[in-house]
C-alpha cells in the first residue's frame, strides 16, 4: 500500500513538472507573439519617418500598437499616463522612440536592422502575466527601455495550429484599444487574405 502511494505521488509530481514546463513554454511563446504582433512594417515606418505633419490615426491603414504609440506621442496629451511613462527629462515625442523601434546592431561593419519594428522588443519585456484557458489567453505585458520609457499593455491571445497570436491590445489610459481584423484584398485577378489592426470606436 505504501509503495503504491509513493508511486502515485511520484507520478503526480512528474505531471506537475510537465505542466509547469508547458505553461512556461506557452508564456515564452506569447511573449514572442506580443513582439511580432505589436510591430509595424518597414514600409509604414518609412511613412511615419517621412511625415512632415503631426501623426493622426487615419495616416496608416494598419493601426498597430507601435503606430498607436507614435500617434499618442504626437498628440498634445500628457505623456505620463498609467500605461506609459517617459523616463527622460524634457520634450518627449515620436522621434524619442524611433531609434528604439528600429534598433540596429553592427555586424561585419554593416548596420543590420532588428526585426520586427516594435516598441516592445523581447529583451525589453520585464513581466508577462498570463491566464491561459486552453487555446486562449489574457494578460498584461510590462516593458521598459532603461532611460527612455516604460509601460504596460493588456492583451488577448489565441493559439492556432500550435502557434500563439495576439488578437487584442489595449492601453486604456492612452485610449488605445485595437483588434486584429481579417479581410480579403484583390491582387491582380485573385484575392489575398490579410490582417490589419484597427482601433475600436470609443465606448459611449
Condensed to tens digits (0 to 9), the pLDDT of residues 153-177 reads 999 999 999 999 999 999 999 999 9
Residue bearing cell 512528474: 14
Is 192 among the domain residues?
Answer: yes
Query: Is 189's pLDDT higher than 50?
Result: yes
Model pLDDT, residue 52: 67
> Whole-model pTM?
0.81
Name the percent of the chain lying above pLDDT 70. Answer: 78
Name the percent of the chain lying above pLDDT 90. Answer: 53
Cα–Cα distance measured from residue 33 to residue 13, given in angstroms and rounded to the nearest whole number: 30
Cα–Cα distance measured from residue 173 to residue 162, given in angstroms and rounded to the nearest whole number: 33
Model pLDDT, residue 53: 72
Cβ(119)–Cβ(10) under 8 Å? no
Up-side HSE of residue 28: CA atoms within 13 Å toward CB? 6
Round to the nearest angstrom and report the end-to-end CA distance of the chain: 64
Could you tell me the pLDDT band of residue 203, with boundaries at 50, 70 and 90? low
Is 3 among the domain residues?
Answer: no
Mean per-residue pLDDT of the chain: 83
Q: How many domains does the chain have?
A: 1
Residues 6+ away with beta carbon under 8 Å from 158: 135, 136, 137, 164, 165, 167
Is 71 among the domain residues?
Answer: yes
Is 4 among the domain residues?
Answer: no
Residue 102 φ/ψ, nearest 5 degrees = -105, 50
Residue 104 φ/ψ, nearest 5 degrees = -125, 160
Cα–Cα distance measured from residue 73 to residue 80, given in angstroms and rounded to the nearest whole number: 10
Q: What is the mean pLDDT of residues 37-49?
A: 87
Angle, CA of 135, 164 and 38, to the nearest 5°: 130
Query: Is 21's pLDDT higher than 50?
Result: no
Angle, CA of 51, 98 and 171, to the nearest 5°: 95
Q: Which domain holds residue 87?
A: 13-199
Is 1 among the domain residues?
Answer: no
Is 6 among the domain residues?
Answer: no
> Collapsing DSSP states into helix, strand and coil, what is residue 183?
strand
Cβ(27)–Cβ(128) under 8 Å? yes
Is 77 among the domain residues?
Answer: yes
- Residues 68-113 have pLDDT tens digits of 999 999 899 999 999 999 999 888 989 899 989 988 766 656 666 6
Is 5 among the domain residues?
Answer: no
Per the DSSP assignment, residues forming a β-bridge with 164 are 159
Amino acid at each position: 500500500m505504501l509503495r503504491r502511494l509513493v508511486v502515485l505521488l511520484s507520478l503526480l509530481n512528474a505531471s506537475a513538472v510537465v505542466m509547469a514546463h508547458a505553461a512556461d513554454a506557452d508564456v515564452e511563446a506569447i511573449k514572442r507573439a506580443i513582439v511580432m504582433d505589436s510591430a509595424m512594417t518597414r514600409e509604414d515606418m518609412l511613412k511615419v519617418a517621412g511625415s512632415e505633419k503631426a501623426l493622426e490615426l487615419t495616416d496608416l491603414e494598419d493601426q498597430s500598437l507601435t503606430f498607436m504609440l507614435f500617434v499618442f506621442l504626437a498628440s498634445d496629451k500628457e505623456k505620463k499616463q498609467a500605461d506609459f511613462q517617459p523616463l527622460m527629462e524634457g520634450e518627449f515625442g515620436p522621434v524619442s522612440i524611433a531609434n528604439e523601434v528600429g534598433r540596429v546592431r553592427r555586424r561585419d561593419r554593416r548596420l543590420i536592422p532588428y526585426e520586427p519594428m516594435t516598441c516592445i522588443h523581447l529583451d525589453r519585456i520585464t513581466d508577462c502575466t498570463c491566464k491561459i484557458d486552453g487555446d486562449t489567453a489574457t494578460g498584461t505585458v510590462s516593458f521598459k527601455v532603461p532611460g527612455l520609457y516604460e509601460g504596460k499593455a493588456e492583451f488577448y491571445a489565441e493559439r492556432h495550429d500550435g502557434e500563439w497570436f495576439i488578437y487584442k491590445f489595449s492601453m486604456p489610459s492612452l485610449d488605445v484599444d485595437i483588434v486584429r481584423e481579417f479581410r480579403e484584398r484583390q491582387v491582380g485577378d485573385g484575392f489575398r487574405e490579410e490582417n490589419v489592426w484597427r482601433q475600436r470606436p470609443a465606448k459611449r
